[in-house]
Structure 1
């Protein structure tokens, strides 16, 4: 499977609107919680969105690894119930990038709102 396709295989029922938001979603959740493990992230997204957005492992883990390689995440391995579990936590640089990504997303939402609803236009 093509790497880009795996990255965007973050599915919402009948929609592809969330393609480019996975990184922002991960950073935001980790900013809200001290540390999280992968399955916990998928379940939190599912709960917050009432099941509308489901992040697959095939999309999540490559994104987590990429964020770690970029120095935005630290990984801590802990033994839980006799198994090793990787917890992800934002680095200082990751906190800064979260602010940048959220600002970028807010600007995108405002722009889209202006396009689809005349009462929000900048004119």
Structure 2
């Protein structure tokens, strides 16, 4: 598993990308999907996830839908129309960042 310091700046783009691709997701589903996709290398805690989701909801990047499952309420998050633009921007930015890191950590021989 990667350190919190290493993954901290990538959690928001990861969360946005996943919700956008799946259409809508709830919190626990997001954490499990990330864990599965990364073979456990990235583990998003609830303490890290929910502040990001709430911040994105406050910025109108995400909207929520409450679904009643028996007596429980499940809150699904969905990317808004404005949020889709942000998903494109953060995806481009993270891909550019990965390429830049490659220049440092995997330099091409001269």
TM-score interval w.r.t. the shorter chain?
A: over 0.9
Q: Residue 118 of structure 1 aligns to a residue in which SS?
A: coil
**Separation in 1 of the partners of 2:45 and 2:7?**
13
The alpha carbon displacement at 1:119 in A equals: 1.6
Runs in 1 of length 4+ with deviation above 3 angstroms? 12-15
Structure 1 unmatched ranges of 5 or more: 1-11
Count the aligned residue pairs: 110
Q: Work out which of the residue numbers 81, 90, 100 in structure 1 matches 2:79.
A: 90
Partner of 2:41: 52
RMSD: 1.6
1:56-83, CA deviations, whole angstroms, 9 ceiling, x for partnerless residues? 0001001000000001000000101331
**Separation in 2 of the partners of 1:102 and 1:16?**
20
Q: Work out which of the residue numbers 58, 62, 73 in structure 2 matches 1:73.
A: 62
1:9-60, CA deviations, whole angstroms, 9 ceiling, x for partnerless residues? xxx3456321101110110001110100000000000000111111000010
Q: Work out which of the residue numbers 103, 107, 115 in structure 1 matches 2:92.
A: 103
**Separation in 2 of the partners of 1:55 and 1:115?**
27
